Amino acid sequence: MAVGLFKSLRGEEGYIEAKYIGAPIGTFVSWSLTRRGEAGPAAGLYDLYAVFRYVNTALFEDPDYEKEIVLKLSKSKRLRIVGGQRTELVGKQLRMEGVEIWRLE
């Protein structure tokens, strides 16, 4: 995906899973994705803020599982993101800084 394609997106559906085994970790009730910058090391990175409907904190906090986040844009479009330079989960509120867009399906 091209850098600078969008500044921010918001949605109401999405989920997080263990990347290679597909184990569900949680589902979102709302989310927002905001671009960090246009140039330099932050170009192409985004910050994710989300609220979980459900989250399995034991799986979420397990460092052995690489997490993949899927954000539902419409009935047929999904945005997959990975990574994160900093992740914070407080109750059902998630904040991930520096995530990358992996794929638009």
At 10-53, the pLDDT tens digits run 999 999 999 888 889 999 999 999 988 777 767 778 999 999 99
* Under 8 Å between Cβ of 35 and 48: no
Question: CA distances (Å), 74 to each of 16, 82, 105, in order?
Answer: 17, 20, 11
**DSSP string of 63-97?**
TTS-EEEEEE-SSS-EEEEEEEEEEEEETTEEEEE
Structural domain spans, the chain: 9-104
pLDDT value at 9 more than 70: yes
